[in-house]
A and B are shown apart, each in its own frame.
Chain A
């Protein structure tokens, strides 16, 4: 790099003074994030340039392929995150789809259309990068349409199956919707291409000094290639993902794939960030992990293993009761979680629930849930820490009927699946001497529909005058520390349809991903990592 280049770069950056000056005069708060965005963009560009420089410098086929593989993996991660899918289930399928789809189309273009040396990094890298970027963007549309359409119209799939249509034929309406979600916007956009805007790519080709006619042809090939690569990648992904989406009875296992996200009142703003290859996502994970570990340390002195880590992203008021601890959320008017240590002796007792009535919890601020909110709501007053776990003590029993331990729960779920699980947990407490249990509600993803300070989001289902949120699902995680520690998680949809326990089982990691809660932080890290990674009913 010579001094001339440095001076000219600085002169170029001086242009930033215009927007920065305008912001300084009119909107100073945004100035800081604008600056950060620019720094981030410059850093990202430098990294990419360095990467491309290395690729071109060594110019090895295996190195270029490795780079494409990494790009595909990273893009797949973005897709899975954007579509709010459980990454472990679908990441491989998306990665394979992107890698294979882009590679086939890219090699076709390089070898048969442009007739250059296919693994020459100077051609390979830009062509593959463009194809990957486009295929990734389209994958987000296609895959999210497919999965959410299947969830919304599960009945249609089953109807077709019941009428003798084979699996892939029954998926046709959904594949069609997914394909059109990719193709329709492309068609719409292509009609205006070049009229009012000149694509960056075309500018780049012109700047490179290529004659307009050649630039036109190259551009044409790339547009066609991008469309082909996005459709091919999506097809491969949906084919590979099929096994993770359906069980052997052809029953959808979407609960496993679809992540019911946190929303629960996180009101975190997505940061405005510069995009490079369209890639941007501010990672917020670090903040919460540090929180978790510090709380973990505090908890160790008390050794209440059932206690989750402190929540930073939503309202939380910790209430310690005789039989349980609850983290109350003033926005949802339901608990974030309820945790208790269930011992063998606590599963027996003479205190009955007959005399008890559900009661408003005076220790939290109004508006809070009342009996009237549930009256005529068609939802049960669903205990989180069950009355059946509090028979050992009168006070514990009475406190379990406070509304800070209660969520609106579907009657069928409360009576069957959830009750079965509560009974099973008591069996485990008797078998192992004691277990630690945490459970609570899950509120499904609403995308952008929850904003900070928005107390009554219009689309959230609520009951009663106090607007108690109706959960979309419930989670429960159980820890057994007897012998070699183990843990298991469950997620049940808040509906009356039968749900098999086998289908409800999740690893604690999966429940953590859905809830944004860090469970069992008091365990040592290695144990926590091991037992939270997987779960099997058979081991219990």
Chain B
């Protein structure tokens, strides 16, 4: 768990949190977003304190690309998970009790789809001043990683605060500010 850490992510800058696997990058990001409680110390946005209660209000200012983007198939294709039903002549009245449905996890998205979803998400979040991305390039091909990097850079250039967590050297080297856990 990260301790003794203090930093400020500025508008128009790309800030990168880095560190070894298990060093708490994701935990830190989730804490900054109010998904996890702060053990000691504080998180503030524009000088206002972020607490568990107020977190949702701050999150409406954020665009978030989580680590497990590949798991969002049902978000990208909302109808992929729907089942079709055959008519059952006795179904309405005379049926036996149905058995429980067990929904299965969906197929992971391809790197292209992940990038497409990231683009779509950032597009929809045009007016949001903060962009947070957890390992944005972890599952992408080298070319797509570069495109992702340019996408994030363009967000920073538009005056947004961009905060990413990554172990990829390519991304770390590209950041304006690097925080090492």
Tell which of B22, B37, B66, B125 touches A159, judged by Cβ atoms closer than 8 Å: B66
User: In the complex, which residues of chain A have a beta carbon less than 8 angstroms from the beta carbon of B92?
Assistant: 186, 189-190, 193, 199, 223, 226
The contact string, 1 if C-beta is below 8 Å from chain A, for chain B 72-104, is 101100100111111111111111111111111
Using known A-B contacts A161-B59, A163-B64, determine if residue A141 contacts B89 with beta carbons closer than 8 Å. no
Looking at chain A, what size class is its interface with the partner chain? 35 or more
Query: Does the CB pair B106–A181 fall under 8 Å?
Result: no
The contact string, 1 if C-beta is below 8 Å from chain B, for chain A 212-227, is 0000000000010010
Tell which of A144, A249, A250 touches B101, judged by Cβ atoms closer than 8 Å: A144
User: In the complex, which residues of chain A have a beta carbon less than 8 angstroms from the beta carbon of B137?
Assistant: none
User: In the complex, which residues of chain B have a beta carbon less than 8 angstroms from the beta carbon of A184?
Assistant: 82-85
CA of A244 to CA of B95, assembled, Å: 31
User: In the complex, which residues of chain B have a beta carbon less than 8 angstroms from the beta carbon of A151?
Assistant: 103
User: In the complex, which residues of chain A have a beta carbon less than 8 angstroms from the beta carbon of B54?
Assistant: none
How close is A188's CB to chain B, nearest CB, in angstroms? 4
Query: Does the CB pair B60–A200 fall under 8 Å?
Result: no
In chain B, what residue has the closest Cβ to A153? B74
The contact string, 1 if C-beta is below 8 Å from chain B, for chain A 141-173, is 100110011011101101111111011000001
- Answer whether residue A196 sits at the interface, using C-beta atoms and an 8 A cutoff: yes
CA of A190 to CA of B91, assembled, Å: 8
User: In the complex, which residues of chain A have a beta carbon less than 8 angstroms from the beta carbon of B125?
Assistant: 163
User: In the complex, which residues of chain B have a beta carbon less than 8 angstroms from the beta carbon of A197?
Assistant: 89-90, 94
CA of A155 to CA of B33, assembled, Å: 15
Using known A-B contacts A249-B36, A249-B52, A498-B27, determine if residue A185 contacts B100 with beta carbons closer than 8 Å. no
Query: Does the CB pair A140–B97 fall under 8 Å?
Result: yes
How close is A540's CB to chain B, nearest CB, in angstroms? 21
CA of A226 to CA of B93, assembled, Å: 10
CA of A177 to CA of B79, assembled, Å: 9
Query: Does the CB pair B56–A251 fall under 8 Å?
Result: no
Query: Does the CB pair A185–B88 fall under 8 Å?
Result: yes
Query: Does the CB pair A250–B35 fall under 8 Å?
Result: yes
Query: Does the CB pair B74–A188 fall under 8 Å?
Result: no
Interface centre among B36, B78, B81 (most CB of A within 10 A): B81
CA of A149 to CA of B101, assembled, Å: 9
User: In the complex, which residues of chain A have a beta carbon less than 8 angstroms from the beta carbon of B87?
Assistant: 188-189, 191-192
Using known A-B contacts A78-B97, A145-B101, A163-B63, determine if residue A189 contacts B33 with beta carbons closer than 8 Å. no
The A contact surface, by secondary structure, is helix
Query: Does the CB pair B100–A83 fall under 8 Å?
Result: yes
CA of A498 to CA of B63, assembled, Å: 23
Interface centre among A186, A189, A193 (most CB of B within 10 A): A189
User: In the complex, which residues of chain A have a beta carbon less than 8 angstroms from the beta carbon of B95?
Assistant: 137, 278
Tell which of B59, B75, B106 touches A152, judged by Cβ atoms closer than 8 Å: B106
- Answer whether residue B150 sits at the interface, using C-beta atoms and an 8 A cutoff: no
Using known A-B contacts A144-B102, A185-B85, determine if residue A280 contacts B97 with beta carbons closer than 8 Å. yes
Query: Does the CB pair A156–B94 fall under 8 Å?
Result: no
Looking at chain B, what size class is its interface with the partner chain? 35 or more
The contact string, 1 if C-beta is below 8 Å from chain A, for chain B 130-166, is 0010000000000000000000000000000000000
The contact string, 1 if C-beta is below 8 Å from chain B, for chain A 262-293, is 00000000000001001110000000000000
User: In the complex, which residues of chain B have a beta carbon less than 8 angstroms from the beta carbon of A177?
Assistant: 81-82, 103
CA of A498 to CA of B56, assembled, Å: 22
Query: Does the CB pair B103–A137 fall under 8 Å?
Result: no
User: In the complex, which residues of chain B have a beta carbon less than 8 angstroms from the beta carbon of A84?
Assistant: 100
How close is A59's CB to chain B, nearest CB, in angstroms? 27
How close is B21's CB to chain A, nearest CB, in angstroms? 10
User: In the complex, which residues of chain B have a beta carbon less than 8 angstroms from the beta carbon of A137?
Assistant: 95, 97-98
User: In the complex, which residues of chain A have a beta carbon less than 8 angstroms from the beta carbon of B71?
Assistant: 153, 155-156
CA of A278 to CA of B68, assembled, Å: 42
- Answer whether residue B121 sits at the interface, using C-beta atoms and an 8 A cutoff: yes
CA of A282 to CA of B89, assembled, Å: 27
CA of A160 to CA of B66, assembled, Å: 10
Query: Does the CB pair B88–A196 fall under 8 Å?
Result: no
In chain A, what residue has the closest Cβ to B96? A275
Query: Does the CB pair A200–B97 fall under 8 Å?
Result: no
Interface centre among A78, A153, A173, A412 (most CB of B within 10 A): A153
User: In the complex, which residues of chain A have a beta carbon less than 8 angstroms from the beta carbon of B27?
Assistant: 498
In chain B, what residue has the closest Cβ to A130? B93
User: In the complex, which residues of chain B have a beta carbon less than 8 angstroms from the beta carbon of A193?
Assistant: 92
CA of A475 to CA of B93, assembled, Å: 42
User: In the complex, which residues of chain A have a beta carbon less than 8 angstroms from the beta carbon of B33?
Assistant: 162
User: In the complex, which residues of chain B have a beta carbon less than 8 angstroms from the beta carbon of A158?
Assistant: 35, 66
How close is B99's CB to chain A, nearest CB, in angstroms? 7
- Answer whether residue A49 sits at the interface, using C-beta atoms and an 8 A cutoff: no
Query: Does the CB pair B99–A447 fall under 8 Å?
Result: yes
Query: Does the CB pair A163–B62 fall under 8 Å?
Result: yes
Using known A-B contacts A162-B62, A192-B89, determine if residue A199 contacts B105 with beta carbons closer than 8 Å. no
- Answer whether residue B128 sits at the interface, using C-beta atoms and an 8 A cutoff: yes
Tell which of A152, A155, A279, A412 touches B68, judged by Cβ atoms closer than 8 Å: A155
User: In the complex, which residues of chain A have a beta carbon less than 8 angstroms from the beta carbon of B85?
Assistant: 184-185, 187-189
- Answer whether residue A201 sits at the interface, using C-beta atoms and an 8 A cutoff: yes
User: In the complex, which residues of chain A have a beta carbon less than 8 angstroms from the beta carbon of B72?
Assistant: 155-156, 159
In chain B, what residue has the closest Cβ to A223? B92
- Answer whether residue A365 sits at the interface, using C-beta atoms and an 8 A cutoff: no
Query: Does the CB pair B86–A201 fall under 8 Å?
Result: no
Tell which of A136, A163, A195 touches B121, judged by Cβ atoms closer than 8 Å: A163
Query: Does the CB pair A447–B102 fall under 8 Å?
Result: yes
- Answer whether residue A254 sits at the interface, using C-beta atoms and an 8 A cutoff: no
CA of A196 to CA of B35, assembled, Å: 54
The contact string, 1 if C-beta is below 8 Å from chain A, for chain B 107-130, is 000000000000001000100100
* Chain A to chain B: the 10 pairs with minimum beta-carbon distance, closest first: A162-B64, A189-B91, A164-B60, A144-B100, A155-B71, A199-B93, A148-B103, A149-B103, A188-B85, A188-B87
User: What are 19 A-B contacts defined by CB distance under 8 Å?
Assistant: A137-B95, A148-B103, A151-B103, A152-B105, A159-B75, A161-B35, A162-B35, A162-B64, A162-B132, A163-B59, A163-B63, A189-B91, A191-B87, A196-B89, A199-B93, A199-B94, A201-B93, A275-B96, A412-B22
Q: A83-B100, A144-B100 are in contact. List 7 more A-B contacts (CB 8 A).
A: A137-B97, A141-B98, A144-B102, A163-B63, A173-B75, A192-B87, A412-B22
